[in-house]
Structure 1
Amino acid sequence: MIRPSELIINPDGSIFHLHLKPNNIADNVILVGDPARVDLVSSYFTKITHESANREFVSKTGLYNNQPITVLSTGIGTDNIDIVLTELDALVNIDFETREVKSEKRSLNIIRIGTSGGLQKNLPVNSFVISEKAIGFDGLLNFYANRNKIVDLEFEEEFKFKMNWNPLLASPYVINCSSKLLAKIKDERFTSGVTISAPGFYGPQGRVVRLDIIDPELNDKIESFKHKNYRITNYEMECSAVYGLSALLGHHALTACLIIANRVNKQANGDYKLFMEELIIHVLKKLTE
């Protein structure tokens, strides 16, 4: 039995942070960072069947192309993803009455739609990227047992060696997306690559405002890094934890990002709403085909 201190259930029967009940979520889940983007995604639903909001965790479940879909905001960072993935899994794989893990597991399709910064010259602003692999600078997965069974250890070791990785930093981990979702969503509209999930927006992504960073050559080394046929394409802040926790828990995960800035070409687009709408519609259509 999972103790109340380990899994908190609210008096109304909903999970602690997400304020969702087991019957409130669909098998297809769209994750977005910005709570306002929940309204944008759900505006394409033909029907809304459930709504919930608590802190940054806003969710709506409804129908798109006659198929149930849940869209849920996570806020920023892998720490929030730890909450979201753990509680989503609990909603479908733990009996809230007995507090026991169900014998038959339910597997979710989890797709993160977000914004990102490009790290290669050939990734123009407003392009779409699918994260075939994610590199976690956050260290979250290292707190969980069996992480070595799901990561790409060869990639990890080569990355740490070529980057001359500072031991003061969390040890990076490398994790694949769901091959099932990759085959379903990817088409000619997307560039496929490797995404770094950083534990911050400024220093951890090589930005300097008033504080110097520990490795001023960080982004130059990232741009030139290559493992087999893989190049690092972009930065964001959630993908690695989505992939790692999904793999450990038996869910399918994929991240699709809109490039709103290119860190190499020093270009950015602050008015990217139309392109984000295009990405959302594209993913919804591919997911429900």
Structure 2
Amino acid sequence: MPGDSEDPNAEVQYHVAVGPGDVADAVLLPGDPDRVDKVTALWEDHEEVAHHREYRTATGTYDGAPVSVTSTGIGSPSATIAVEELARVGVETFIRVGSCGAIQPDMAVGDLVITTGAVRQEGTSDEYVREDYPATADGEVVSALVAAAERLGYDYHVGVTMSADSFYAGQGRPGFGGFEAAGSDALIEELQAANVKNVEMEAAAILTVASLYGLRAGAVCSVYANRVTGEFRTEGASRAAETASLAVKLLARMDEVKREAGVDRWHAGLTI
């Protein structure tokens, strides 16, 4: 094995610039660094602990539960770097918090999409594992996100997400000068027929890498656009952030109940 030019076992991580004790066991992962402020505005308290490149991290509490947030920038490569380095300092639960395009006609702008699994159209996860390995969300995280959305009264949809590497050609949009990638004209219709709910750019890689490492991960995104109706508004980001923050609180309680019951996995026979 060749030597590493940046030690992955160093105390302070090379890209995200956090070390042990800087972050909670659960971290929310928005893309936009500016969205960190929208997330922490929902918490009781917080402190920014690092800001390097696109990676901005804050740690605080939501309803008494420790929680952190780290922005990942756009796309799966940078999101996977965040998962890798945060895992090295002890993070065990990751929840992507973002925006997406809905591709089913009954989904309104501002609704939430809770991901159960993802189509791996991005390329980052291919560098980790064979292409037929599934990108699946952890069942406990999905349950906590659904419970949080229900408690908050937010409209939500649950199902499969497609993650692309390109905002334009990879999502069936025309490129510069009207360029169209091969197959892009049929992409959205094929995904609709497969009952895929939404399109975004990070979930598949986050879910895949977390699963490979035995960590919990999920995703909740606000619908900014409906590709069927043509509607677009930047609406609902705080709903996704609040749902994910409450989900962290519920996961902490679920973990307590599991310990009390002497079981390893949450199941329907337990209650919080």
Indicate yes or no: 2:149 matched with 1:176. no
1:214 aligns with 2:182: yes
Distance 1:249 1:56, change over 3 A: same
Listed one character per residue, the Cα deviations across residues 180-208 of structure 1 (whole Å, up to 9, x for unaligned) are 11112214432101100000100000001
1:83 lines up with 2:84 in the alignment: no
Q: 1:8 to 1:286 in 2, by over 3 A?
A: closer
Contact 2:9 2:88 in 1 (8 A): no
Q: How does 1:41-190 map onto structure 2 within 5 Å?
A: 41-92=39-90, 108-145=92-129, 151=133, 174-187=134-147, 188=150, 189-190=155-156
Deviation at residue 36 of structure 1 after TM alignment? 0.6
With over 3 angstroms needed to count, the CA separation of the structure-2 counterparts of 1:181 and 1:2, relative to structure 1, is farther
Residue 142 of structure 1 and its aligned partner are, at CA, apart by 2.0
> Could you tell me which residue of structure 2 aligns to residue 224 of structure 1?
193
Measure the CA separation in 2 of the matches of 1:219 and 1:77. Answer: 19
Match of 2:228 in 1: 264
CA drift of 1:283 comes to: 2.6
- Report sequence identity in percent: 28
Alignment deviations for residues 47-67 of structure 1 (CA, whole Å, 9 cap, x no partner) = 324521001100001122122
Describe the superposition over 1:41-97 as per-residue Cα deviations: whole angstroms up to 9, x where unpaired. Answer: 1122223245210011000011221221110000000011221111112222xxxxx
- Measured against aligned partners, the alpha-carbon deviations of 1:241-274 in whole angstroms (never above 9, x if no partner) come to 010000001110010011110001111114x2xx
Count, aligned residues: 241
Match of 2:37 in 1: 39
Distance in structure 2 (CA, Å) of the matches to 1:50 and 1:66: 18
Contact 2:225 2:231 in 1 (8 A): yes
- Aligned counterparts of 1:142 and 1:281: Cα–Cα separation in 2: 32
Moved more, 186-195 or 58-67: 186-195
With the length of structure 1 as denominator, give the TM-score of the two structures.
Answer: 0.78
Q: Deviations over 1:6-29 (max 9, x none)?
A: 63567xx41100000111111111
Instruction: Provide the C-alpha distance between the structure 1 equivalents of 2:89 and 2:241, rounded to a whole number of angstroms.
Output: 25
Deviations 1:75-128 (A, max 9, x none): 000011221111112222xxxxxxxxxxxxxx6111111000001111111111
Runs of at least 5 residues in structure 1 that lack an aligned partner in the other structure? 93-106, 152-173, 226-230
Contact 2:6 2:14 in 1 (8 A): no
With structure 2 as the length reference, what TM-score do the two structures score? 0.82
Alpha-carbon RMSD across the aligned residues, in angstroms, is 2.1
Instruction: Report the Cα offset of residue 5 of structure 1.
Output: 2.6
What residue is the counterpart of 2:218 in the other structure?
254
5+ residue gaps, structure 2 = 251-272
Contact 2:113 2:156 in 1 (8 A): yes
Q: 1:2 to 1:71 in 2, by over 3 A?
A: farther
